[in-house]
Structures are given as structure tokens and as C-alpha cells.
Amino acid sequence: MNYCIVIPVYNSPYIKEVVEELIPFGYPIIVVDDGCDERVNLEPLDVTLVHHGINIGKGEAILSGAKKAKELGYDCFITMDADKQHIASQIKKLLDVYEEGSIVIGNRDFSGDNVPDSSKFGRKFSNFWVALESWTKLGDTQSGFRMYPITILDLPLKNKRFDFEIEILVFHRYRGGKIIDIEVECYYPPKEERVSHFDKLHDNIRLTIVHTKLMCQRYLLLRGWLWR
């Protein structure tokens, strides 16, 4: 299994801390600067850095990281957020259950302190709709802590922001791909230290649109009018 870590980042003050936590594990790391206001500079850390000239979305940043991973010869990659929520020591849990061609989701333990009620509700809401759209019951469809095969680049993905992480799960299942979830620890900082670029208006509208589209596609699949 030939893998690397991909970290999309947009204006996070914690990106260097996140990378420094990973370095002792020896994982190859690709950081995608998605048009940060201040260009990301991680020298002298041993990191492959990809820059976007403007901010084009988390999904597009993950795809840029996937393309770079493929160019460098990797078969699969693990995504982590740049806000310190995901813990480097938990990567091994994803690696232990990964099967060739599968997507593994780190199902975040929300029993700790500082987890916003909005995140708990959002996860339940998302899990419900993804179960209907993909015929698959999952524990944390909003987690950005995932392991992907490089073959996700072959999926006909259209959504490139936060809605990307929903669409990719459903399309992967449409193609017969397996999804595995595994319980992982996570860290939620206090509210005043939290970094989020989720726009409650625009991103919720995007998510509503993508769920509507995916439900329509499920109907077409049932009718035999759409590819599998």
C-alpha cells in the first residue's frame, strides 16, 4: 500500500502545527494552499506544497492533492483538515481497515468537550440523507478525516466545496465501491480558537442542492436510466 497525507488549507493559523505533528510518523505529506491570504510557507519541513492562485474550495483542493499524489506514484491518500481537529496518531486506524479501492471514514468521537450542537445535528442530518441516496448507513458522512483510493479521480464529480465530501461518497457507491467507517478520537478546540470556513447560508444551500440532485439520481438508478 503506497499512500500519502493530503491536507487542504485555507487561512488556518494551525497548518504548521498540524504538519509538525505528522512529521515524526514519517508520512509523506502534500499540503494544498487553496488561495490563502498569505501564501503558505512550510520551509524547512519536508512537505510537497501545491498552491492555488485563488480560493476555489475544499473539494477542488482535495482533488489537486489527489492529482499530485498520483503524479508522485501513490495509490491512495489520507485527507486531514488543517484546524487541528484530526489527530495524527489516529491515522493508523484508517490504515488498519483499508481495503483496496475502498473509502475509509474516520468516524469522529463527539463525546468530548467543545463539540458544537450544530455539528452534532449536521452530522445526523447528513447521515440520514446519504443513507437514502447511497443505500449505505454511515456514522460520520461529514468527517474530513478519510482515506481515498487514487481512482476517485475517475468519478464524474461536479461539486468542489464542502458538498464535495457528500457527493464523492454517493458516487463511489454508485460505482460499486465499498465505504468503511472506523471510530477515531478527535479534538475540538474552545469556540474562541476554532477555525471554520463553513458559510451557514451559502454552504447549506449548496448541500441542499446536492442532496436534491442525488435523490433524483437515485430515482433514475432505480428506474435503470442512469449509469451504475
pLDDT band at 196 (very low <50, low <70, confident <90, very high): low
How many domains does the chain contain in total? Answer: 1
Task: Determine, yes or no, domain membership for 227.
Answer: no
Task: Determine, yes or no, domain membership for 33.
Answer: yes
Task: Determine, yes or no, domain membership for 87.
Answer: yes
pLDDT band at 223 (very low <50, low <70, confident <90, very high): very low
Domain with residue 69: its CATH number is: 3.90.550.10
The predicted-structure confidence for 60-102, as pLDDT tens digits, reads as follows 999 999 999 999 999 999 999 999 999 999 999 999 999 999 9
Task: Determine, yes or no, domain membership for 153.
Answer: yes
Count of residues making up the chain: 228
The overall average pLDDT reported for the chain is: 87
Per-residue cell: 164: 464535495
pLDDT band at 220 (very low <50, low <70, confident <90, very high): low
Range of the domain at 206: 3-222
Task: Determine, yes or no, domain membership for 228.
Answer: no
Task: Determine, yes or no, domain membership for 163.
Answer: yes
Question: What letters, b where the CB count within 10 A reaches 16 and e where it falls short, cover 113-138?
Answer: eeeeeebeebbeebeebbeebbebeb
pLDDT above 90 coverage of the chain, percent:
61
Question: Can you give the pLDDT at residue 225?
Answer: 46
Question: Can you give the pLDDT at residue 227?
Answer: 47
Rounded to an integer, the average pLDDT of 160-186 is 89
Amino acid found at 103: I
